[in-house]
């Protein structure tokens, strides 16, 4: 569909990190950008019900930080001033995989570490400063409205009194999360929208905020211990603001971490290495432990549809929701936001922009999917042992290169961080 359309109003469903960055990406292209959020948004950094897995550890990869800086220049400094920790790649970031710790070596670049809710708060504060962007919170989008000729006309808000209010738009960006509420609605009229590639992740993780001991108050660490088949426990520890760690412990294929703090700490002893456990037994306080289950990683294949509903732009977890072990989720969502900006930079026509966006966003999803598929396949089904041996062999080859070549170490780091120079 290549009918030239005006670009007056963009509606974004969802004020998570992906929706916020999508607003910043679209602000140069639309007269009005309006974000719709069902939660009442807090005035300070805080966990909120509608933020996906907000009570769990989130990594912002260097590639995601790079994209944020493109649309919100100076946000790295703002995050640091707000309490985010700067971690030296190769020194403060410690990775254990397939029996060894990767070497400690200064790679000459840094990553930022902070809670999910601090990151969202700082991004939201910046986005609301954009003159043509506004957030309408405490509202629920009932469904998308259609124009009768194969396109989206806007949204219908569900009011508390039972009345419905329609809000027109030139495009609708769906950042409503992996549940795919609006995909299900549209699939009734556009069959094929429910095509989903799936991988059995079978992962359950339990996370808690931990007050660091005085002896480690000045330390800055990101510890990642990757679970291995046959020893299906893994975990991550991340320095965040306010003298705290965010720690997530997970189990695969039926191994479920407990949520009682003392038992949760004891579970950390099952990890392939004891570095996280040694930190936890020194903790001053462990806050309530939250449990989250992720049986499947999913990729909705909008890129394989012959034609999408006109003016509909899915983004973030609506497209791809993968195993969180490698921390790719937010960065993929930011990549989608960048693809959105670039599509409208290249095309005045909404139909052409939509087609371009779907292709480029799929390329971002594929980067994460390849990693997820290779790793999860080593735990799943009758081919697991063969897949595990292959992945282990590839990883050992990578490890040998990393130990002998600083350049290869940096290259592998950048690849894992979805970062391009």
Q: Within a domain: residue 97?
A: yes
CA distances from 9 to 14, 27, 205, 224 (A): 16, 10, 40, 43
* Domain extent for 263: 86-115+199-294
pLDDT of residue 210: 97
**Contacts within 8 Å (CB) and 24+ apart, 381-390:** 381/200, 384/229, 385/229, 388/228, 388/229
Rounded Cα distance, 344 and 34, in Å: 17
Q: Give the CATH number, domain containing residue 256.
A: 3.30.9
Q: Which of 254, 208, 263 lies closest to 227, judged by CA?
A: 254
**Contacts within 8 Å (CB) and 24+ apart, 156-165:** 157/36
Look at the chain and report how many structural domains it folds into: 1
| Residue 325: partners with Cβ closer than 8 Å, 6 or more residues away | 203, 226, 227, 234, 236, 250, 375
pLDDT of residue 52: 63
pLDDT tens digits along 87-126: 999 999 999 998 899 999 999 999 999 999 999 999 999 9
pLDDT of residue 4: 39
Q: Within a domain: residue 208?
A: yes
Low-confidence ranges of the chain (pLDDT < 70): 1-6, 52, 161-162, 381-383, 421
Rounded Cα distance, 399 and 415, in Å: 14
| Token representation of residue 285 | 């306080």
Rounded Cα distance, 165 and 370, in Å: 42
| Token representation of residue 207 | 């996370």
Q: Within a domain: residue 352?
A: no
Q: Which of 214, 213, 260, 203 lies closest to 236, judged by CA?
A: 203
Q: Within a domain: residue 92?
A: yes
Q: Within a domain: residue 266?
A: yes
| Token representation of residue 137 | 């919170």
% of the chain beyond a pLDDT of 70: 97
pLDDT tens digits along 153-209: 999 998 776 677 899 999 999 999 988 899 999 988 888 888 999 998 889 999 999
pLDDT of residue 161: 65
Rounded Cα distance, 360 and 340, in Å: 9
Q: Within a domain: residue 280?
A: yes
Q: Within a domain: residue 18?
A: no
Q: Within a domain: residue 38?
A: no
pTM of the model: 0.94
pLDDT of residue 164: 75
């Amino acid at each position: 569909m290549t009918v030239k359309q005006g670009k007056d109003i963009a509606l974004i469903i969802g004020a998570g990190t992906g929706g916020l960055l999508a607003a910043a990406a679209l602000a140069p292209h639309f007269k009005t950008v309006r974000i719709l959020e069902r939660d009442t948004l807090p005035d300070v950094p805080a966990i909120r019900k509608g933020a996906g897995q907000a009570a769990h550890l989130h990594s912002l990869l260097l590639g995601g930080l790079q994209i944020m800086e493109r649309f919100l220049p100076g946000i790295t400094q703002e995050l640091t001033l707000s309490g985010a920790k700067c971690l030296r790649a190769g020194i403060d970031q410690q990775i254990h995989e397939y029996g060894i710790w990767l070497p400690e070596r200064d790679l000459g670049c840094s990553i930022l570490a902070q809670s999910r809710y601090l990151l969202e708060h700082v991004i939201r504060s910046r986005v609301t400063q954009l003159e043509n962007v506004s957030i309408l919170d405490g509202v629920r989008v009932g469904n998308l409205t259609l124009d009768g000729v194969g396109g989206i006309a806007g949204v219908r808000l569900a009011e508390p009194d039972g009345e419905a209010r329609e809000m027109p738009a030139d495009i609708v960006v769906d950042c409503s999360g992996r549940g795919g509420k609006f995909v299900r609605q549209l699939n009734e009229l556009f069959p094929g929208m429910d095509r989903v590639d799936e991988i059995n992740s079978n992962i359950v993780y339990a996370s808690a905020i931990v007050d660091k001991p005085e002896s480690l108050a000045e330390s800055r660490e990101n510890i990642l211990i990757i679970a291995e088949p046959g020893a299906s426990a893994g975990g991550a520890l991340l320095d965040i603001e306010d003298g705290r760690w965010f720690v997530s412990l997970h189990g695969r294929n039926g191994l479920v971490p407990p949520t009682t703090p003392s038992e949760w700490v004891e579970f950390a002893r099952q990890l392939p290495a004891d570095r996280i456990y040694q930190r936890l037994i020194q903790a001053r306080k462990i806050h309530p432990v939250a449990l989250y289950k992720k049986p499947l990683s999913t990729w909705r294949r909008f890129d394989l549809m012959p034609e999408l509903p006109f003016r509909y732009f899915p983004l973030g977890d609506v497209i791809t929701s993968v195993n969180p072990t490698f921390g790719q989720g937010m960065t993929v969502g930011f990549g989608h936001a960048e693809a959105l900006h670039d599509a409208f930079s290249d095309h005045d026509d909404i139909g052409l922009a939509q087609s371009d966006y779907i292709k480029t966003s799929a390329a971002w999803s594929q980067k994460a999917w390849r990693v997820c598929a290779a790793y999860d396949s080593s735990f799943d089904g009758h081919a697991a042992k063969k897949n595990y041996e292959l992945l282990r062999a590839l990883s050992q080859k990578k490890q040998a290169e990393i130990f002998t070549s600083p350049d290869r170490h940096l290259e592998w780091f950048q690849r894992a961080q979805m970062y391009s120079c």
